A and B are shown apart, each in its own frame.
Chain A
Amino acid sequence: MKAAGMTARRQNLVSCHNCHLLCDAPVPVEKQVACCPRCGSTLHSRKPNSLMRTWALVFAAVILYLPANLLPITITSAIGVTQTDTIISGVIYFLHSGMVPIALVIFIASVFVPLMKLLILIYLLISVQRRSRRRLVDRTRLYRLTELVGRWSMVDVYVVTILVALVKLGAVARVDAGPATPYFAGVVIITMFAAESFDPRLIWDVMEDDE
């Protein structure tokens, strides 16, 4: 009983996504959306087209992930010497100069987190589509994690913008944003949207079909 439980959907109830008010499930009327009586959000039992949308966004992010990591993210000119850096070469540079904590921050935020997030979302999508009954709680936790950490990937975008804005010291030094920057910002923003469009309730829906 505890594992299966009674869900709102089974009781013909809908919980508002925004204010969590429990309402009677709206009777579907053509070309009309039901709105939450308290906050006005559109009511739906599950996020509409959650799987398709998330897949599309994950694919888009995977495609952008390549140029984001392969193209240079900064172009530094100092005292006549021009140097281009990708995210990874930046990390390696920090490692060589002994700034291990900074190297770790950039590596985790810019390389590891976006990749993990995409892999986790792909795993969640596939496991939901295969109607897996295993590790429901762990998978919900994984989802919560992707929602929580995604924003920190933005740090490299900010570092680039700060460098560009700040290093304008005439002939001495300047930093320009490399072609990877918009791709990288795209990866972060699109994966955030992807995590938002995934509905964790789909993980648990398989329990209802048992009975």
Chain B
Amino acid sequence: MSLSELIACHECDLLTRLPELPPGGCAHCPRCGCLLQRDRPNSIEKTLALSFAGLVLFIAAVSFPFLAMKAGGFEQHSNLLTGVWLLLEQKMVLLAMVVLLTCVLFPLAGILGLLYVLLPLHFGRRLPRAEVVFRLVSHLQPWSMMEVFMLGILVSLVKLGHLAEVIPGISLWAFAVLIFVLAAQAAVLDPHQVWERLEALR
């Protein structure tokens, strides 16, 4: 039996033979139940399409105001970047960095990184250092938290409701769709397939 037919569970280290998966089927570890592999047809093409959609939505979500608030003749808009800027102006460098990294830079790097790896792969090519980029993308994934930020916006909306008039901005809608697109992207991406294709092109 060759090594490529075997897989070690990454949660309990059990060696298992990978069965031939039916379309859309998945294999679980017989010992701990962890998901070993899922058959994801057209994974690369689907992920690419969702990444492009994600990029457009991301630009919209970051550049338009997500909330505006009116009270006593004042009006205040905020988009993600001006929000980070305001935090910096108030000397809250740490918080500004946390928001900038987890809600702007990491998600953007994730989308761009996937495009960098998958677009050439779709045409049977690989760009230099594609494996480093793909590895980084998987490391960054838990740290990109746009869906948590979205929940934060919703909580703030309710919290501010009694202080002033709060108007949801355009970017809120872009945000809402983006979160579904990113979740779908994570669901259709098959890292195993990407690694195999990258290896074959070396």
Contact surface of A with B, Cβ cutoff 8 Å: 2-3, 5-9, 11, 13, 15, 17-23, 38-41, 45, 78, 97, 99, 102, 105-106, 109, 136-137, 140-141, 143-144, 147, 151-152, 154-173, 176-177, 181-182, 185, 189, 192, 196, 200-201, 203-205
Contacts and interface: CB of A to CB of B under 8 A. Distances in A.
Nearest to B94: A182
B95 A185 contact: yes
B99 interface: yes
14 contacts: A7-B12, A7-B14, A38-B199, A102-B155, A141-B33, A154-B145, A154-B149, A155-B151, A169-B71, A169-B74, A172-B71, A192-B142, A196-B142, A200-B11
Interface in B40-77: 67, 69, 71-72, 74, 76
A164 B163 contact: no
A166 B148 contact: no
Contacts of B13: 7-9, 15, 45, 201, 204-205
Interface in B99-113: 99, 102-103
A21 B10 contact: no
Contact of B192 (A20, A40, A161): A20
Given A22-B7, A158-B103, A158-B153, 15 more contacts: A13-B15, A38-B198, A78-B163, A102-B158, A154-B149, A154-B152, A161-B87, A161-B96, A162-B78, A165-B86, A169-B164, A170-B72, A172-B71, A173-B163, A201-B13
A22 B3 contact: yes
A18 B138 contact: yes
Closest 4 CB pairs of A and B: A158-B152, A15-B8, A165-B83, A8-B8
B99 A168 contact: no
Contacts of A155: 148, 151-152, 155
Nearest to A6: B15
Interface stretch (B19-27, B120-128, B129-137, B173-181): B129-137
A203 B132 CA distance: 30
A84 B58 CA distance: 35
B156 A163 contact: yes
